[in-house]
Amino acid sequence: MTSPVPNMPEAIPNELSGRVAIVTGAGRGMGRAVAVRLAAAGADVVVNDLEPTDATETAESVVSDGGNAIAVAGDITDSSFVDRLVSRAAEEYRGINILVNAAGILRRTAVIDMPETEWDLVMNVNLKGTFLPSKAVLTSMRRSGWGRIVNFSSTAGKTTSTLGGAHYTASKHAVLGLTRHMAMEEATHGITVNAVCPGLINTEMVQQEIDSDRIKRYTDSFPIPRLGEPSEAAELVAFLASDRAAYITGQGFDISGGDLMV
Ligand SMILES: NC(=O)c1ccc[n+]([C@@H]2O[C@H](COP(=O)([O-])OP(=O)(O)OC[C@H]3O[C@@H](n4cnc5c(N)ncnc54)[C@H](O)[C@@H]3O)[C@@H](O)[C@H]2O)c1
């Protein structure tokens, strides 16, 4: 059975011109694909990642493709860094219009063996690391009366994780709760807050956890029997970040090749 990966359509030129986007965890994987995709649509992009070299590589790749980007490396669980990230974005460009919270980590330890420190780490990066940047951009978004926040949950946020542990599942459920509640609070300010819920996407997070035989066993059971590509998730994020999605808020969109159907 074949299931070709499609060539992604070109971005709508200038659809996001004049918009400033911060993408966390954009040094690799889906965050990187999102940074590239938003820049292709004309956004000025602030590339964040914990790994400075990776953040710089993404920003340089955007610039070499003719887009605008700067790298601001640092830890999104640190509120003073997050404040610096947002200030730096405002100094370099203008106020913030789009925030994509893509940074995340996965650990797989069972609850019975789970050190408290590992619980705290996963919850901090995946949940607090979504809360802090969101809180930090709201004043700027409210001022302009327009904003888009897109959070990375997971199909694990609706069921249980295939690869991760209970902390990963719990953090991704909580990201959906945060998404819905913030959507309600911000709706009358022109700010939408949505989440994407990927299934199994072809990034290092997955490649580090399982070998190709196990990946094949999983994907063979999917209605669309292959891994998703980061560019496909980025396409969904780009739509949610645009004016085309103005009447959509508080939602969590699965992108899983039909693995999850609810
Ligand atoms: N790949 C999948 O199949 C999959 C499925 C469902 C959900 N997700 C979620 O999608 C998001 C992106 O996943 P991915 O597969 O691209 O992951 P990835 O591991 O390839 O990339 C995540 C990036 O986040 C960065 N990061 C981690 N902690 C950080 C911190 N404290 N501050 C700043 N940056 C930090 C990492 O350095 C890395 O570059 C994550 O939130 C992940 O949980 C992934």
- pLDDT of 109-156, one tens digit each? 999 999 999 999 999 999 999 999 999 999 999 999 999 999 999 999
54 CB near ligand 1 (under 6 Å): yes
Q: What is the pLDDT of residue 3?
A: 64
Centroid of ligand 1 to alpha carbon of 238 (angstroms): 17
pLDDT confidence bin for 2, thresholds 50/70/90? very low
249 CB near ligand 1 (under 6 Å): no
Domain locations in the chain as residue ranges: 20-255
Topology at the third CATH level for domain 20-255: Rossmann fold (3.40.50)
57, 125, 205: which to mutate for ligand 1, most atoms within 8 A of CB? 205
Q: What is the pLDDT of residue 9?
A: 80
51 CB near ligand 1 (under 6 Å): yes
238 CB near ligand 1 (under 6 Å): no
Active site residue 93: no
Dihedral (CA of 162, 165, 167, 170) sign = positive
pLDDT in tens, 52-77: 999 999 999 999 999 999 999 999 99
Centroid of ligand 1 to alpha carbon of 105 (angstroms): 5
**pLDDT above 90 for 13:** no
pLDDT in tens, 33-56: 999 999 999 999 999 999 999 999
Q: What is the pLDDT of residue 157?
A: 98
Kindly report the average pLDDT of the chain as a whole number.
Answer: 96
Beta 98-101 vs 44-47: how paired, if at all? unpaired
* DSSP designation for 113: G
257 CB near ligand 1 (under 6 Å): no
Percent of the chain, pLDDT > 70?
Answer: 99
Centroid of ligand 1 to alpha carbon of 149 (angstroms): 17
For ligand 1, atom 14, name the residue with the nearest CA. Answer: 29
Q: What is the pLDDT of residue 1?
A: 45
Centroid of ligand 1 to alpha carbon of 181 (angstroms): 23
Calculate mean pLDDT across residues 74-100.
Answer: 97
Strand locations in the chain (E):
20-24, 44-47, 68-71, 98-101, 147-152, 191-198, 252-255
Q: What is the pLDDT of residue 7?
A: 81
| 3-state DSSP helix/strand/coil % of the chain, to nearest 5 | 50, 15, 35
| Joined tokens for residue 63 | 């610039």
Calculate mean pLDDT across residues 236-260.
Answer: 98
Of the CA atoms within 13 Å of residue 64, those in its CB half-sphere come to 6
pLDDT in tens, 179-205: 999 999 999 999 999 999 999 999 999
